[in-house]
Amino acid sequence: MKLYSGPASGNSYKARLLLALTGIEYELASLNLQKGEQKSPKFLKINPRGQVPALIDGDVTVWDSQGIITYIALKYAPDWLPLDPKHMGKIMQWMAFAENECLYGMARSRAVVRINRPWNLEETQAHGEAGLKIINAHLQGRQWLVGQMPTLADIACFPYVALAPEGNLLLDGYAGIQAWISRIKALPGFVGMPGIDP
């Protein structure tokens, strides 16, 4: 199994984190996104979108973080994706949240602040703040986003929530989120990334 990843990419980190927490061995291919290695002809044959992450497992190629973590869970780590309708539906709900509030709010705020991407910072921060309020309220009285154990819901949402301060979205007033971040960091096998210390 080979994972193509960017060190500072929160989406790449989702895959690296799940692989670390499950103890699955893999080869890491780290691409320099600033130099545009993800747009090289060689990599475009793996992922025509020219984005990380991308995963090759034997004769299977999967790109996009949500697709990759779903593939890994279904094939190697089924406890992370319970298939009963109640849990599956709730996990998909939070994976959609990760592709909406987390991406368009927290991730884009971070990209504007860190690398001067051309989005409106006030708009992205407002979207991110709304997402933080939703997830913090949901975590009141809960340890994990879905059920009694960590699932792909937590993996999908964790990176950009934890990195929100890099987009000037402070987590000081969100006790539920802070406790959840601490629980994830305490999981056996946890690994960090730039901006998220182990």
Q: What's the N-to-C CA distance of the chain in angstroms?
A: 24
- Residues of each domain in the chain carrying CATH 3.40.30.10: 2-79
**What confidence tier does 86 reach under pLDDT thresholds 50, 70, 90?**
very high
Cα separation, 13 vs 125, in Å, equals 22
> Any idea how long the chain is?
198
Partners of 63 in beta bridges: 54
Asked if 109 contacts 168 with a C-beta cutoff of 8 angstroms, the reply is yes
Whole-model pTM: value is 0.96
For the segment 108-141, what is each residue's pLDDT rounded down to a tens digit?
Answer: 999 999 999 999 999 999 999 999 999 999 999 9
Asked if 119 contacts 111 with a C-beta cutoff of 8 angstroms, the reply is yes
- Percent above pLDDT 70 for the chain: 100
**What confidence tier does 14 reach under pLDDT thresholds 50, 70, 90?**
very high
| Per-residue pLDDT, 72 | 98
Sheet-wide strand order for 60-63: 27-30, 2-5, 54-57, 60-63
- Residues of each domain in the chain carrying CATH 1.20.1050.10: 81-185
Asked: is 81-185 a CATH 3.20.20.70 domain? The reply is no
Cα separation, 50 vs 37, in Å, equals 9
| Per-residue pLDDT, 95 | 98
| Per-residue pLDDT, 136 | 98
| Per-residue pLDDT, 8 | 95
What is the average pLDDT across 44-59?
Answer: 97
What is the average pLDDT across 156-174?
Answer: 98
Both tokens assigned to 196: 């998220």
Cα separation, 163 vs 168, in Å, equals 9
Q: Taking all residues of the chain, what is their mean pLDDT, rounded to a whole number?
A: 97
- CA torsion sign, 159 to 161 to 162 to 166? positive
What is the average pLDDT across 157-176?
Answer: 98
Cα separation, 180 vs 136, in Å, equals 9
**What confidence tier does 3 reach under pLDDT thresholds 50, 70, 90?**
very high
Query: Domain 2-79 has what CATH class?
Result: alpha beta
